[in-house]
């Protein structure tokens, strides 16, 4: 599986876990990272869902200025924000966190329907429409 796809799965799962554990700041950071990774992976539905959820939960977030996350990633200032959080939690660290939490097996990197599975996980975890 491509790196961006694996990152979208990891960050999306961490966003869901953060929501379930009532950690809104971490949830929002992982939603941002999942949206960016999903955009890079060519998963527009997942990117849109994560971006919409981020705008719903944090309307003051810089991501809310953009209609899509792809628009945001084309903005140099916003791209720096995403890069900052990617340095804060690179994909390797995200994978390690999921392993420590015992949820790494939830992600099936070889599943051809991984994007759909992630989208469904997001929609189950976040009853709000993004």
pLDDT in tens, the chain (130 residues): 488 999 999 999 999 999 999 999 999 999 999 999 999 999 999 999 999 999 999 999 999 999 999 999 999 999 999 999 999 999 999 999 999 988 766 666 667 899 999 999 999 999 864 4
Helix, strand, or coil here: 58? coil
Query: ∠ CA 44-48-50 to the nearest 5 degrees?
Result: 120
**What is the C-alpha separation between 40 and 107, in angstroms, rounded?**
18
Q: Which two tokens stand for residue 53?
A: 């959820």
Q: What predicted TM-score, i.e. pTM, was given to this entire model?
A: 0.91
Q: Which two tokens stand for residue 2?
A: 């491509």
């Amino acid at each position: 599986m491509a790196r961006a796809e694996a990152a979208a799965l990891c960050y999306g799962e961490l966003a869901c876990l953060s929501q379930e554990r009532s950690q809104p700041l971490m949830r929002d950071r992982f939603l941002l990272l999942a949206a960016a990774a999903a955009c890079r992976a060519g998963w527009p539905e997942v990117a849109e869902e994560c971006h919409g959820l981020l705008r719903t939960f944090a309307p003051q977030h810089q991501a809310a200025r953009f209609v899509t996350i792809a628009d945001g990633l084309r903005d140099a200032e916003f791209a720096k924000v995403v890069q900052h959080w990617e340095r804060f939690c690179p994909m390797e660290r995200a994978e390690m966190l999921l392993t420590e939490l015992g949820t790494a097996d939830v992600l099936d990197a070889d599943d051809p329907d991984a994007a759909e599975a992630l989208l469904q996980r997001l929609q189950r975890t976040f009853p709000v429409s993004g």
